[in-house]
Every structure is written in C-alpha cells, then in structure tokens.
Structure 1
Amino acid sequence: MKKETSTLNSPEAISICRSKQLTKEMLRAAGLPTPDGIVLRQDQFDEALAHVQAVGRPSVLKPLSQGRGEGVVCGIATEDDLRAAWETAGRAARRAPELLLEEQIEGIDIRVSVVGRRVVAVATRLPSHVVGDGRRSIAELVELKQRRRDQHAYLAKSPLTVERALLARAGRALHDVPVANEVVVLNGPSNVGTGGENVDVTGLVHADLLNLAVDASRAIPGLRNTGVDLMAQDLDTVDGAVILEANFCPDIRVHHHPAYGRPRDIAGAIVDEMLASAGAPARWPSRRRARHVRVVRRLARAARRRLSADRRLQE
C-alpha cells in the first residue's frame, strides 16, 4: 500500500485513471456510457464559451487530472458562470494544464467500491447543504452544521464550502432565512471534500448498476481496486446512468465512516484480495493477516486519541 493506492492496481491502470479523458476513452471503447465533453487548454476560453452556448444546457468544468472534487464547478450556463469556473478550475489544475468541460448529468451521485471483480460497498454523496428552520439565516445554519461536522471522525477534515455564485444564481444570500425544512444547496459537486455528506446505500442499488461499475473496472487493464463514480437516475434502474470516472486510490473512509448508514469494511476486503492474489486464500486465519489487523487497530486507536487531544486543545 502507498497512501490509499494498493498493489492490486498496475502502473498502467494508475496512469490511465490519472487522466479523466483517457479514462473516458477506455470506457467508451468498451461500449460504456459517459457524459459528452471536450478537453481544453487554459488559453481556450473562447472555444469553451462557444461549446457552452452551443450545448444550451448546464455544463461541468473540472481539472483533467485532479481528484477529491477539487476545482470542479457545476451549473455553468452563462459567460459569467464560465469565467468564474475557469478561474476556480485553473487554480486547481496543478499536474496538467488541461480542463475537461462536460455536459451536466442530473441524478443521484453513487460511489461503487470494487475490489477484485466484486462490489464491496456503495455510497451516495449529498452536496453541501443546510436545512432551514424558519429562524436562523443560512450563515447561522452553516455555522451550526459545521460544529456538528467537526465531531465526525471523517467529515471533520473537510469543512463546509459555500459557493456564493451558486447561491446568487438561486437568488439567495447568506443572510437569508430559509423556511422550515427548506433545503439550501451550498456547493455544486456532491463531494465530501467540498462539504458533502456520505450515505451508505449498500444493498439498495439495482444489480445492473453494480454490474456497470464492475464493467468499468474491467475496461481498464490492471484495475482491481477502484471507486467507480456513477450518476444514476434512480437506485432501482440502470436506464440513463453514466460513468463519471474510476478512481485508482478511492477514499475508503467514505465507507468506513458514513454520515448516515452502516460502516463497511473496505480495508479488510482489500487485504483479503491482496492475500488471495499472492496465493493465500481469502479470510485465511494466518498470523500474517492477524498481525495486519492488529497494526490497523493500533493506528486507528492512536488516531482517535490524537483527534480527542486536538479537540480538547480547541476547547
């Protein structure tokens, strides 16, 4: 393991997944559905604007080689939208200067974790949002939710992000007071890194959607541990679903520490697959596997103690 990249993935698979465009080409070559889009250099703003105007529907702009939702801007429909998004995505595009401009697909954002050729867990991610109570302003609701978020083992590392331009397009401002139970979306991408929330939906997703994720992993040679991002119209059907990307180093904490729902042991599945690929049977009660489990548990306890100490200092 290196960070969250396991030896289950070949160097070739990692190189492909680093590029959103190359990943899309591999998926399309396998006959799998992906959003339409074009790759642009950062000096091709005019070409990007012409594309947005020709499409006539909202678009998404993202750095070609960046992950964790960084630099992704949704809901681009006008020249002003595109200029603001161009600046945001351009700042985040560190490894490669190109940007990917895609059609925006509406639906349910799903992360399917595939280990080997088996789906281990599924989560959906909600965009950063607050729910009105009829008394507090959006700014006050954001502050209250952030305090709760700070107590979560996983979400604490990613503060709520407010995209003021998105609020403005919806005719809202931070001082507005939403009515009771009104949902106010704060940020476009459904990504935990930008303030979203992860919800476990393992066991609730149609088998055809799961098979689509497995097919995506098969389309990229040497990719045996991946988080496949799908946009689905409903959890009960594959109709209209598209593959957004395949991640070679998926954040397994999405499943280990859901905001809502049951935790799933992705780390254990990865260790089992690594042992099986080395010739040892999965779930083999060996001393080696037991030692791995003890080490992981000690690291988890140390992390919890450090987190508790940091919180006491903050208080």
Structure 2
Amino acid sequence: MSTDYEALKKFVHDRMVLPDLPINHLDTTRDAIASIIRRFTDLGWRIVKVEDEKSRHRRHELTSPDGRIALSMIGGKVYRHPGATEQICRRKHLTKKMLDIALLPTPIGADFTANEKAIAAAFFEKMPKPVVVKPTDSGSSHGVTVGVTDQAGLSSAWQYALDEGRGRSNVLIEQFVRGVELRAFVVGPRVVSVFARIQPFVVGSGRHSLERLIEKLHEARSVHYRANKMPVVVDWEFLERSGYVASSVPNDGDIVFLNPFNFPSMGSFLVDVTKDVSAEIRNLAFRAKESIPFLEIAGVDLLVEDLDDVNTASILEVNTAASLDLHRYPTHGEPRAVDQDIVEYFHQVFLDTK
C-alpha cells in the first residue's frame, strides 16, 4: 500500500504508459506445487505426502536420491531451515533487528507492547510523518495502516494492528518511506525475479468519464485469468479526496489511481522488472536474505524511488513463504518460473555435496 503518488506516477508513465506495456494474456494457471513435485520426482527425489488435518496447506517431505538431504514443503514453500528462522521472519521487529545488524537500509521505527500505548504516542510525536503502523506478528498485510499523521489516526491504527496481529503481537511504528514497492525473489545466491506492485489506475483521455475509463479497464484486465478473478476495487471516497467523481473527465494523460492498495485482491498490477532493476538493488535483496540465519529462499520487499539507484532503496520485510504465482503470472512483463528455480537450487546443492 502506498501514498507516494509522485514516484508511482513516474513509474507508471515511464515503464507502462510510454512503452504501451500490454496486459499479459493468460488463459489459465498451472499448480506450482504439482510442478515442483513433478520436477523433483524427475530428478530422482523421494516425495512423501504428509497428512495434516490441522493445516490448510498441502504438506510433503522430500529426500534427495541418496537420502542425505531432507526438505520440507508446505504449499509451495520448500525449505530446510529451523523454526528459529521462521520466527525471525514472522516477527517484523526481529526481522528489522537482523537487517539493522547487517547494516542494511530500513525505515526508522520501534515496536511496543499492547500496554505501552502512551509511550508509543510520545514516540510518535517525534517521528517524521507520515508513519506506518502494523503488528509485529501477522500474515500478509493484515493490520497495516499507512499514512498516519496525527494521534487520532495513531489510536485507530494501533487498535487495528492489535486486532489483526497473532497472539500477543507488538505494534510497530515505522517511518513511511517513499517509493515503488518491489518484491524480489531470492533463491540461494541469485535474485531470480523482481516485480513492482502498482495500485490500479486509469489514464485520462480528455474525452471519457472516469466511470467509462474504469469500465474499459475491467475489459482490458479480462484477458488475464488471475486479474479477471480479482477485479479492481474502486474506492470512491479515496477518489473524491483526489477531486474525482464518476462523471469526472480526467485530462489526457492524467494517471488516476483507483484505490490506495497494491494488493492483488484489490486489483493491483504486478509488473516484472527483473531486467530493469540495478545490480546494486538486486544485491541489496540478496544481502537481506543472507541477514536471516539459515534462510535459503526468500521474498524480499523493498521500496525504491529509482530502479537504477540503490541509494533510494529501503528494505521492508523478508518473507519465508512468498507467493510463487505472483512471479509466475505477472499482469505485465515476463513470467518467471521461480518454482523451477527452487528445484534446481536444491538439486544443485545435492550434486555439489555428493
């Protein structure tokens, strides 16, 4: 989720509108889990399905051809790291501490227990505004509030973070960092895929109403199987704050964002930028993965103002269970077979240690 429309508009204009980047045609999707299992099987690995009624994810255990290497698989996540690694990445304040130890750029911030609201309010007064408020232990983007500027906003964001956090989650108050949000997928020593999350938008023609432009957007998205299943959620209150109503006619070339969210479920665009991101930014994502003990495969979230300038980058999170399909089926740009990258990495580990 972002409120930095200057950086977003520049990205959209330069990398989507000017080159007339089309929405990818996608008739259907293929199961990443089945793809991973099939490839491991072809390479001689032993696969055992684990029955677990308590888990909503399919679980498997994988063993190398000679029995030396054992991997676990939950959904599409293949791993062999210990539980401590999982806990560090699951708890955002611990992730931030590991990133700080590695001298990596992160937003300024601090976390507080549920009983430390008064202390947090005092800390907030000295923070550069706006800020981001989120639970330290939650799934996906649940409980996250962006753009908090006053105590009233902090109070509601605080409660939302507590409501959505797991167990006794703390509340993290962080500096809002401007830029375009990227997800880098790191497999061993390689950054194999990077995409940008862009909230849904239309481009004014000077002739069509906003309502008509939105209709045309829905039509354009229908060619992409996943995008069609997750239509754009139009936030009219958000648009009204930007000066638009349904009958407004945006000027020719004006970029109008339709909601403040960059989640696929809200109709966001996923733009592959693997070849566009500088080597220095890719290395930053690799170093973020390396900062977490024993972690081999990760989704690293970054904010950057300029894809060519590492000095504009800041690391937000490191994820152990990053979605594979977001990379496999972007709405724009080249699909990336990250499922196969995972298999090839672990099989190479097996070959190198024989």
Give the TM-score, by structure 1 length: 0.77
Q: Secondary structure of the residue that 1:239 maps to in structure 2?
A: helix
- Tell me the residue number matched to 2:338: 266
Q: Deviations over 1:83-128 (max 9, x none)?
A: 4534544443245543222111111211111101111111111123
Q: Give the whole-Å Cα distance in 2 for the aligned partners of 1:158 and 1:42.
A: 35
Instruction: Give the SS at the match of 1:6.
Output: strand
Q: 1:152 to 1:8 in 2, by over 3 A?
A: farther
In structure 2, distance between residues paired with 1:189 and 1:36: 22
Give the Å deviation of 1:10: 3.5
Mapping of residues 252-263 of structure 1, within 5 Å: 252-263=324-335
The aligned runs of 1:1-315 (5 Å cut-off) are 1-42=73-114, 44-86=116-158, 88-134=160-206, 138=210, 141-142=213-214, 144-146=216-218, 148-149=220-221, 151-162=223-234, 166-167=238-239, 169-173=241-245, 176-277=248-349, 279-280=350-351
CA contact (8 A) 2:128 2:175 kept: no
How many residue pairs are counted as aligned between the two chains?
A: 281
Structure 1 175/223 Cα, relative in aligned 2: closer, same or farther at 3 Å? farther
Instruction: Please state how far the C-alpha of 1:188 moved relative to its aligned partner.
Output: 3.4
8 Å contact kept, 1:52–1:77: no
Q: Is this contact kept in 2: 1:35–1:244, CA < 8 A? A: yes
Percentage identity across paired residues of the two chains: 35
> Separation in 2 of the partners of 1:177 and 1:50?
44
- Separation (CA, whole Å) in 1 of partners of 2:244 and 2:168: 35
Contact 2:89 2:95 in 1 (8 A): yes
Letter in 2 for 1:170: S
Mapped to 2, the partners of 1:51 and 1:134 lie a distance apart of 46
- Give the 3 Å change call, closer, same or farther, for CA 131–42 of structure 1 in structure 2: farther
Q: 1:205 to 1:98 in 2, by over 3 A?
A: same
Instruction: Please list the CA deviations of residues 12-34 of structure 1 after superposition, one character each: whole Å capped at 9, or x if unmatched.
Output: 22111111111001111111111
One-letter amino acid of the structure 2 residue matched with residue 27 of structure 1 = L
CA deviation after TM superposition for structure 1 residue 264, in Å: 0.9
Q: Give 2:96's aligned amino acid.
A: K
Instruction: Write the deviation string for residues 206-260 of structure 1: whole angstroms up to 9, x where unpaired.
Output: 1111111111111111111101111122111211311111110111112111111
Aligned residue for 1:15, secondary structure, equals helix
Contact 1:160 1:195 in 2 (8 A): yes
Aligned 8 A contact 1:74 1:189 in 2: no
In 2 relative to 1, CA 62–10 (structure 1 residues): closer, same or farther, beyond 3 Å?
same
Q: Would you say the 8 A contact 1:60–1:101 is kept in 2?
A: yes
Q: Root-mean-square deviation (CA), in Å?
A: 2.8
Cα displacement string for residues 40-61 of structure 1 (whole angstroms, at most 9, x for unaligned residues): 3456555444444322421112
CA distance in 1, matches of 2:335, 2:155: 40
CA distance in 2, matches of 1:38, 1:164: 34
SS in 1 for 2:78: coil
What CA distance in whole angstroms lies between the structure 2 residues aligned with 1:27 and 1:199? 26
Structure 2 unaligned spans of 5+:
1-72
Please report the TM-score for the alignment, with normalisation by the length of structure 2.
0.70
Letter in 2 for 1:251: S
Q: Name the CA shift for 1:215/1:96 in 2 (closer, same or farther; >3 Å).
A: same
- What letter matches 1:58 in structure 2? P
Aligned-partner residue type, residue 333 of structure 2: G
